[in-house]
A and B are shown apart, each in its own frame.
Chain A
């Protein structure tokens, strides 16, 4: 289990250490041109009413926020960041599963506990991207930037990233090496402390 706590978000950005190794870091595949399934289990620990970010896919913002009892699913389609507002489906102290399923040139879907909540048509569109995408867990930005942080507390139990139907990153957060969670697929697609 990975304890995400206020002020200490973690990040999925394996190419940030060495840009040439691994050869195809999974974060670079989150560039809108590959289908992917982002699948993770977490337990929210923070019950306050302020805006909180579960994850943010940067630098072209997509992500999942909780704000005043609502869930806000954000996605960027290369034109702007759009939002879908949902009722509260995430309870404090209860394990929740999130799946974000993107099928290139078709659809973007959000599932909460295996029930589809959002389906967006992405025909002739691509998810917004930049050359080195990354996912922050527990914040909407890097702490050093000092804005849009929206810290929260949660425990991340498991994380899986499938790209083009191939599982290329899998974490159960049992092994950590130098503030990096070990990727069970052996692809070195680690999640690390910021």
Chain B
């Protein structure tokens, strides 16, 4: 079915009708929040709702009212990401693309004729059990990292113009993440719902925090290990920072081997992150041991010949000097682990996105000469490129290359970015970061010494 045909079909129900409001969910259980799809802001799940019905982790009353609006031909305000696309361009919005997905379109008849109050088991589920993490990456925050919570509780927000990573708002809105030691009713509701949810899943992805530090991640894997016959076609994805204690890593690999080698899932993909190399990567992803990261990646790809690792790189101002070296390292791994068995052809993929928030770490704060280094990285990836993305060759795909080039376009493109303001914030941030964490910015990034001195003077 073409995108236009899907759009016509959706519009036949209502101009705001989108299957993803039923079929897809992202649940932040550590904060008790949910949203469908990922574009609308997450909303709080009332505890009274999950006490009565654990599927209210997805089927909240709030969400059901949005579904009602969709079935009655209205466009819910929270979905304005798509309305902006539809009203201001000729492009199809994610409403069409997400509804077209194999995990959505098959449920069209059931959903379009359903009563708005009816519960629906989603097909594409992302879940974060908690914010427990052993990292506190420079661009992350308390919602996603318990280490960040500890730091902010001890030292307060950073003294930038944005009061970076203040937790006052989270407290006001009752969105402070549960501590790992606390009982979390949302996680309890998840386990109550899980046996019923599992059999209907197309894709299940565990995010964090660091998922391997959560016992619930292992519980999911062990459940699938025992009950896979109920859903042998599951696509399973798990995030990890590749830097957890060896015992946990070994247990994780052992479980993944069983699921993958014995076809207990349709596919298994691991998502991880890194945006530079060596000390510079360790500075930004605080908690990272760079060589341990690669050693674990190498072990995974060796022990799991069907699996692919996707590096989600959040390209930021501190990535420019070593991203080119990272490309070399990824290429080495692509070459070393190329085989004919991988689910996704390539052993490892570099998926580069630009960081927009916090603005003081955006590549837009950089001088032009530094931005040119991004283009050099894109050129290197192009030389490592392959024309045909097939099992019998290896290299960077067209998409991987384009996404690096896009960072350069973003860096040099015109926008309403307050460069001077965010450069000042950057200086305040790294000064305070060094003081709190015992790091040394200028020693780690000598290439930015002149930039630092100039902007420190203001």
| Chain A residues in the interface with B (C-beta under 8 A) | 16-22, 177-178, 180, 182, 186, 188, 190
Contact = CB atoms under 8 A, between A and B. Distances in A.
A16 B401 CA distance: 13
Nearest to B405: A21
B384 A20 contact: no
Given A21-B378, A188-B379, 5 more contacts: A17-B386, A18-B382, A18-B385, A19-B398, A178-B395
Most buried by A among B382, B387, B398: B382
24 contacts: A16-B387, A17-B382, A17-B385, A17-B398, A17-B401, A18-B382, A18-B385, A18-B398, A18-B401, A18-B405, A19-B398, A20-B402, A21-B378, A21-B382, A21-B402, A177-B383, A177-B384, A178-B383, A178-B384, A178-B395, A182-B383, A186-B379, A188-B379, A190-B383
Interface string B394-408: 010010011001000
Interface residues of B, number: 14
Contacts of A20: 402, 405
B246 to A, nearest CB: 34
Contacts of A17: 382, 385-387, 398, 401
B397 to A, nearest CB: 9
Contacts of A21: 378, 382, 401-402, 405
When A and B form their complex, which 8 residue pairs have the shortest distance between CB atoms, in order from nearest? A17-B385, A177-B383, A21-B405, A18-B401, A18-B398, A178-B384, A16-B387, A188-B379
Most buried by B among A21, A177, A182, A190: A21
B338 to A, nearest CB: 12
Contacts of A180: 383
B281 to A, nearest CB: 23
Contacts of B384: 177-178
A188 B382 contact: yes
Contacts of B378: 21
A14 to B, nearest CB: 8
Contacts of A190: 383
Contacts of A177: 383-384
Nearest to A23: B405
A186 B387 CA distance: 20
A119 B243 CA distance: 67
A87 B208 CA distance: 73
Nearest to A13: B387
Contacts of A188: 379, 382-383
A59 to B, nearest CB: 16
Contacts of B383: 177-178, 180, 182, 188, 190
A182 B384 CA distance: 11
A177 B335 CA distance: 13
Contacts of B382: 17-18, 21-22, 188
Contacts of B385: 17-18, 178
Nearest to B400: A18
B79 to A, nearest CB: 30
B280 to A, nearest CB: 24
Nearest to B382: A188
B297 to A, nearest CB: 20
A186 B375 CA distance: 11
Contacts of B395: 178
A177 B381 CA distance: 10
B371 to A, nearest CB: 16
A33 B42 CA distance: 54
Interface in B380-437: 382-387, 395, 398, 401-402, 405
A141 B107 CA distance: 49
A145 to B, nearest CB: 15
Nearest to B408: A21
A16 B382 CA distance: 11
Most buried by B among A22, A178, A182: A178
Nearest to A190: B383
A21 B384 CA distance: 13
Contacts of B401: 17-18, 21
Contacts of A182: 383
Most buried by B among A17, A20, A177, A188: A17
